[in-house]
Structures are given as C-alpha cells and as structure tokens.
Structure 1
Amino acid sequence: MIHHEHSGPRPMPFQAPQGDLAVLAGSANQELSKAIARSLGLRLTPAETHTFSDGNVFVRVLENVRGRDCFIIQGVHHPVNDNFMELLFWIDALKRASAQSVTAVIPYFSYAKGDKKDEPRVSIRARVCADAIEEAGADRCLMMDLHSPQIQGFFQIPVDHLYGRYVLAEHISSMGIDNLVICSPDVGFAKGASAFAKLLGVPVVIGNKERTDHTEQAEVLEIIGDVKGKNVVIVDDFTISGGTLISMAELLKARGANDIYAAVSHAALTESAGPKITASPITKLFTTDTIEPLPKKSCEKLQIVSVAEVFAAAIRSVHDRTSVSMLFPENPKQK
C-alpha cells in the first residue's frame, strides 16, 4: 500500500466557527497548496490520501470541517484519471463531513481539451467531467486558463476562470526585453495572445498551425506579421510534447527573429519533451506551478513563476463573497 501523509500526525479535534475557511491539499498539488496557504496566512487543514496496492484511492479529512467553507486543491494532470477520481472523493468526503460549502480548486483541468464533438462517435469528455464534479457535490470551481473558456457553460455551478498570463507577463516585463513581439502559435489562441500583448504593450504576430491527427505534433505553416530583428515570446495555454513551440521557434528563426522565448500557463511535459526543448532555439520556457512535478532537470530552459498568490486571492474573494473578476481588471471580459 502506498501512503501519502499530507500534513503530519493527526491533530487533536478542532472545533471551527461557522463559516471558517479551510484549505486542503490533494496529492496532485502539494507544493502549490502549501504556497497558497502561506499566502492566505493559514495552515493547510490536515488530510491524508492512501493509494492501495490494487490502485484504490482512500481520502480522509483529519479535522472537523462542519460549517466551514472548504477549498480542496487538486489538479487533473498526469496521472489524469487517478487525480480526477481523487478530486471526486475529496468533494464527497467534505460534503459528508457537513462542510458549509465545497470549492474544487483545479489548477490544471486536462480534460478541457475534450470540449466538443468534432468527430463521429466521440465523447465530450469535459462535459462528462463537469457532470461528475457536480454530482460529487461541489458548490463551485476555481480553474486556471481553461483550453476553452466556454467549458464554464458545461457546469450548472459557478466556475471562476483565473488567468496565468498576469504573473507571466509581469515576470517577462521585469526582464526588460526590448523590441518585443508576442506570438500566437495558431489562430485559435490569437485572442489570448492579444490579451497577453496588451499587458506588455507590444504587438502580436500569429502562426498558422495544422494538426492532422490526435498526436501531440502540429506543423506550423506560416507566420502572419513581421518578426525580423525582433525578440519574440510564443504564448499558449499549455504544452505537452513541446512540438508546436519548437516548430514555431524554428520558423521564427528562419524569418529573422532574434531571441525566442515561450510562455505557457501549464507545462504538462512528457519525459521526452524536456531534452527537445533544451536543444531547440527557445531561450527560456516560462511556465507556472499549476502542474507537479515539473521536469526541471530534463528541461534546463524551464523557468517557473508561481500562481499561488492568484489562487489565494481568488479563494479569499470567494470566502469573503467579493468579486473574483476584479482580480483581472484589464481583461475586457471581466469588467
């Protein structure tokens, strides 16, 4: 039996006041959860996960949460199905423990890619997951940079959509890169790239990407815009193999770009992706800490910027019944 103990030995029974805030860490995002708790000035509510030898997952809250606003932090990344089932079990455990409310804090929701029926006889996986989260008893969700923002409409409960581009743009701005251009790898992310560029006050160029199958490789065919003599940051919501970023970087170099960077909210990198990115024309790959663990050793160019304060501010806003959208005042959709 594999045993994950999240918060040390079981504490003495604790009686919480009505409406008190409780933040719990699932096994998927331990380090981010600790950072969020520190930002909130709280300790993580003691909890534990057991994974038995046959793969069964058992979760337990080690403190009284009756009448409390509970936030369970559990991303849905590799191993995706294990992490998703654990999330459902945490929601169920908290509801059965008489929590006043349960908010599922999902830093990375990988099934967001399955947002439509674009082929015959396929599942709309994001919708199935939304139904399961609601059925388990969640009252609300906090998610960051969904692949398709319209997934919020799959839920009957409120979904607060957070953005990683604010901390990424702030980090890039602090580097003082001159003659900068933001590059979207395809038309689909053009709006996100434009919002990113607006934060930095720089122009945007757009790539034309074609994907012919379900592999993680895509061919970048052309670039709309001038990059000659420019320093470029390729932006996207996530990367898995790094293939699109690398293809775009190679094309940018061929079009006369100088230094090339990449910035993604979620680095769901495979084992082979790190060495490929390290060997590519990309100078640095900026990403957030929504996914653990990140292969820092295999990808020497990886630079991590924490989004703990963004999640902490959103959790505080939900708990205090204030506006989460006010955290992103420069986004026209959030005014």
Structure 2
Amino acid sequence: MKISKPNIIFGDSNLNFFKSLLKIFNIKINYIKIEKFKDNEYKIQFLKKFNEKIIFILQSLSNPIHDNLINLFLIIDSLKKICIKKIYLIIPYFCYSRQDKIFNENSSISIKLISNLFDFFNVNKIITLDPHSSNFECCFNTPLKILKSTSLFVNDIVKNNISFDIIVSPDIGGVLRAKNLANYLNLELVIIDKRRPISNYIKIFCIIGNVEFKKCIVVDDIIDTGNSIIEVTNFLFFNKINTVIVYITHSIFSEKSFIKIYNSKINKLIVTDTINFNYFNDKIKIITTKYLFIEEIKKIILEKYEI
C-alpha cells in the first residue's frame, strides 16, 4: 500500500530540528509563511492548499515561550478556518509543566490555564516528551501521548559501551524516571533528598544509598540555571563519587548556564535536541529525539489506512 506524504508544518521554534525531521519524509519545504510586524505581532499564511484533512504541527514551546505559544495558536486557528478535520501537535518541549500546583494563595495553576487554551482549539492529539509534572496528563481534556527519553539514554549508553555502577535520582520527584533507567540497565538506584524552599535555591538533606568510589549516571528532565545539578554533583563528589555523567531531556540553559556546566565537576552532560542549542564542546553532547516523533507520526498515518 502506497502511503502519501504527511502534511507537516512547523512553527518558529527549533527550526534545525524540525527541518531534519522533515527530511525523513522527503519534505523539503515548510508550507507556511510566518511573518512579524514591527510591533512583533504575527501574521500566518499558508503556501499550499491541503487536500488531505489531516495535518501535523511541530512547535517546541521553549524560549521565547509566549511568542511560540501565540505562534502555535494562530497556526491552529488558521487551519480550523480552512476546515482541516484532524490536527496533531508535536510539542517536544512543553512550557509551564513545572507549574502544576498553587504556589501561594490565589495564584494560578499555570499548566491548567495553558491546557484550557489547547482544549479550546479541540485538536485531536498532543504528542510531547518528558513533561516535568507527574500531574501533567490530568490537566488536559485533549488526548495526550507522552513519550519517554529513557530508551534514547539507554541506546546512547550501550552504543558507547559506557560502564556505570549506579543511577542517581537528583530528587524524590525524579525517582520513577531514574528507576526506569536503572531497571533497563540492571543497576542500583540511589536517591538524593533535595528540596527547594524558594525558587532557584536548593537544600540537600541526605543521600539514600552508597556512592563511594562509584561511577554514576544522574538523570533528570530539565536543566535550567544549572545550579541544582551542579549542587548535586558537588554533593556526590563530597561523598567520594568517582565519576558523574548527567543525562537531561530538555536543555533550557537560562542565561547561558551551559558555561557553568562546562566549568563544573560534571564529567559529561548529554542533552537532547527538543530545545535549540548550538553550543558544542567536549563536555556537552546532544542526542536526537526526532525518531521518537517520527514513529508516532507514522503510527497515526497508518491508523488512517486501517480497515
């Protein structure tokens, strides 16, 4: 059975990643023109008539977050106006997933507000990777497919024949993520009791497990300022760890915090390409997530042809 090329368009974020993904489907052009007026308002224009009534939109909701959100909402709204029946969103990094609770009296639950906006557009499915919140799925009425980066990390470790003794969760909230990786690699799990009394400040209380003279992998979903992972690394070396390799899904790197990582005791940092990042050196390595999303696109295309 011959399957036609999917209709895939992408927004204004992470352009290199999206272009490399489209190459797999032999799609050479983004059939959407995105312009900005002098006051930064967006104007959206489609460059072809979509005969198929199924379309995929690629957009990572990283910095500038609100530009990328509005950009995406305008694209969806424009597609609705030309009667596209099924819209699937590929969102590698989903903003506001860290704000899943009320932080103080009368404050908004930010991810719930964002989810309500997506629910309004009534898209068919949102496909994303490693959202921070364990409550993420509960906030949405829109169907979700949440992908995990664990298999990518395992493949990289096996491919490079890297030997380790333990997997470390840098906090209690990341235990499930670290446990999944530990199970794949049949390694011991160590947990750090780290708490955040105020934003961008952490306090480490204790370590659960033995790290002395061992090689470890620390796994987490987001690196932002880098302060937290550096503090964890320093704490591990204080407890006589031998080697610290860090695997992170989303590399936000606020205020060029990758420079702090480069100057830290971290032996190597491996991040994915869900957020645009072009700073390469011998300490920071990037692995691609595009094949995870390609497989999901293929599944949806094949479902259309099922009898």
Same fold at TM > 0.5:
yes
- Alpha-carbon distance in structure 2 between the residues aligned to 1:321 and 1:122: 42
The alignment status of 1:22 with 2:4, answered yes or no, reads no
Task: Give the number of aligned pairs.
Answer: 303
**In the TM superposition, what is the alpha-carbon distance from 1:25 to its structure 2 partner?**
1.4
**In the TM superposition, what is the alpha-carbon distance from 1:42 to its structure 2 partner?**
3.8
**In the TM superposition, what is the alpha-carbon distance from 1:167 to its structure 2 partner?**
0.8
Structure 2 partner of 1:225 = 209
Structure 1 partner of 2:105 = 120
Structure 1 contact 261–283 (Cα < 8 Å) conserved: yes
**In the TM superposition, what is the alpha-carbon distance from 1:277 to its structure 2 partner?**
0.6
Larger mean Cα displacement after TM superposition, 183-192 or 160-169:
160-169
- Alpha-carbon distance in structure 1 between the residues aligned to 2:233 and 2:196: 17
Counterparts in 2 of 1:279 and 1:20: CA distance versus 1, 3 Å: closer
**Aligned mate of 1:301, from 271, 280, 283:** 283
Q: Which amino acid aligns with 2:301?
A: H
Counterparts in 2 of 1:125 and 1:300: CA distance versus 1, 3 Å: farther
Q: Which amino acid aligns with 2:82?
A: A
- Alpha-carbon distance in structure 2 between the residues aligned to 1:300 and 1:82: 32
Structure 2 partner of 1:311 = 293
Structure 2 partner of 1:249 = 233
Superposed, which structure 2 residues align to 1:41-56 within 5 Å?
41-56=26-41
Larger mean Cα displacement after TM superposition, 271-280 or 171-180:
171-180
**In the TM superposition, what is the alpha-carbon distance from 1:66 to its structure 2 partner?**
4.0
Which structure 2 residue ranges, 5 or more long, are not aligned?
Answer: none
- Alpha-carbon distance in structure 2 between the residues aligned to 1:110 and 1:217: 20
Q: Work out the percentage of aligned pairs sharing the same amino acid.
A: 25
Report the secondary structure of 2:245's partner residue. Answer: strand
- Alpha-carbon distance in structure 2 between the residues aligned to 1:320 and 1:105: 17
Structure 1 contact 64–97 (Cα < 8 Å) conserved: no
**In the TM superposition, what is the alpha-carbon distance from 1:253 to its structure 2 partner?**
0.8
**Aligned mate of 1:71, from 56, 60, 63:** 56
**Aligned mate of 1:320, from 282, 293, 302:** 302
Report the secondary structure of 1:138's partner residue. Answer: coil
Structure 1 partner of 2:125 = 140
- Alpha-carbon distance in structure 1 between the residues aligned to 2:10 and 2:48: 13
**Aligned mate of 1:267, from 225, 231, 251:** 251
Structure 1 contact 236–265 (Cα < 8 Å) conserved: yes
**Aligned mate of 1:236, from 220, 237, 240:** 220
Structure 2 contact 7–52 (Cα < 8 Å) conserved: no
Report the secondary structure of 2:197's partner residue. Answer: coil
**In the TM superposition, what is the alpha-carbon distance from 1:243 to its structure 2 partner?**
1.1
Counterparts in 2 of 1:255 and 1:321: CA distance versus 1, 3 Å: same
- Alpha-carbon distance in structure 1 between the residues aligned to 2:90 and 2:64: 17
Structure 2 contact 5–25 (Cα < 8 Å) conserved: no
**In the TM superposition, what is the alpha-carbon distance from 1:149 to its structure 2 partner?**
3.7
Report the secondary structure of 2:162's partner residue. Answer: coil
After superposing on structure 2, the runs of 4+ consecutive aligned residues of structure 1 that deviate more than 3 Å are 40-45
Q: Which amino acid aligns with 1:88?
A: F
- Alpha-carbon distance in structure 2 between the residues aligned to 1:20 and 1:134: 27
The alignment status of 1:192 with 2:174, answered yes or no, reads no
RMSD: 2.0
Q: Which amino acid aligns with 1:252?
A: L
Structure 1 partner of 2:18 = 33
CA deviations over 1:276-299 (Å, ceiling 9, x no partner): 11111101111110001x1515x6
Structure 2 partner of 1:155 = 140
Structure 1 contact 39–308 (Cα < 8 Å) conserved: no
- Alpha-carbon distance in structure 2 between the residues aligned to 1:242 and 1:295: 17
- Alpha-carbon distance in structure 1 between the residues aligned to 2:286 and 2:5: 32
Q: Which amino acid aligns with 1:62?
A: L
Counterparts in 2 of 1:19 and 1:115: CA distance versus 1, 3 Å: farther
Counterparts in 2 of 1:197 and 1:122: CA distance versus 1, 3 Å: same
**In the TM superposition, what is the alpha-carbon distance from 1:65 to its structure 2 partner?**
1.7
Report the secondary structure of 2:96's partner residue. Answer: helix
Structure 2 contact 167–181 (Cα < 8 Å) conserved: yes
Structure 2 partner of 1:14 = none
Structure 2 contact 250–275 (Cα < 8 Å) conserved: yes
- Alpha-carbon distance in structure 2 between the residues aligned to 1:44 and 1:165: 31
Structure 1 contact 61–94 (Cα < 8 Å) conserved: no
Report the secondary structure of 1:246's partner residue. Answer: helix
Q: Which amino acid aligns with 2:302?
A: D
**In the TM superposition, what is the alpha-carbon distance from 1:163 to its structure 2 partner?**
1.1
The alignment status of 1:277 with 2:261, answered yes or no, reads yes
Report the secondary structure of 2:112's partner residue. Answer: helix
Structure 1 contact 67–98 (Cα < 8 Å) conserved: no
Report the secondary structure of 2:241's partner residue. Answer: coil
TM-score by length of 2: 0.93
Report the secondary structure of 1:21's partner residue. Answer: coil
